[in-house]
């Protein structure tokens, strides 16, 4: 049984694209997450990073981190503060702009 995950892609008024994930990211739904990122990256405005909003994600496993690494050249991430330590330890923050949600 797949872990509950909701994904939504929106285009902002400035033309940028945001992929919002709500739930948990693990092996049971990582293919869905990867496909959503692939589609959103392909639909974004040239040169403008896809923003991945993980502010409503409480858990992600190494599979999700690997998917983020696969798209490192095309994404920015806004993360639930609880995820910041794992994203830092994984090295993702060294190659992708990762901000904790609410830090604006």
Q: How does pLDDT run across 12-44, given as a tens digit for each residue?
A: 888 889 999 999 999 999 999 999 999 999 888
Where are the chain's structural domains?
5-100
Could you report the per-residue pLDDT of 39-91, keeping only the tens digit for each?
A: 999 888 778 899 999 999 999 999 999 999 999 999 999 999 999 999 999 99
Q: What is the pTM of this model?
A: 0.93
Among 70, 63, 100, 102, smallest CA distance to 82 is for 100
CATH fold group of domain 5-100: Transcription Regulator spoIIAA (3.30.750)
Residues whose CB falls within 8 Å of the CB of residue 75, separated by 6 or more in sequence, listed in order: 37, 41, 49, 50, 51, 52, 68, 96
């Amino acid at each position: 049984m797949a872990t509950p995950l909701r994904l939504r892609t929106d285009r902002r008024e400035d033309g940028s694209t945001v992929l919002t994930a709500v739930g948990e990211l693990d092996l049971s739904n990582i293919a869905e997450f990867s496909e959503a990122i692939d589609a959103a990256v392909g639909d974004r405005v040239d040169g403008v990073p896809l923003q991945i909003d993980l502010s409503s994600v409480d858990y992600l496993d190494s599979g999700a981190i690997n998917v983020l690494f696969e798209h490192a050249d095309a994404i920015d991430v806004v993360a639930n503060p609880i995820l910041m330590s794992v994203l830092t330890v994984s090295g993702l923050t060294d190659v992708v702009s990762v901000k904790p949600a609410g830090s604006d």
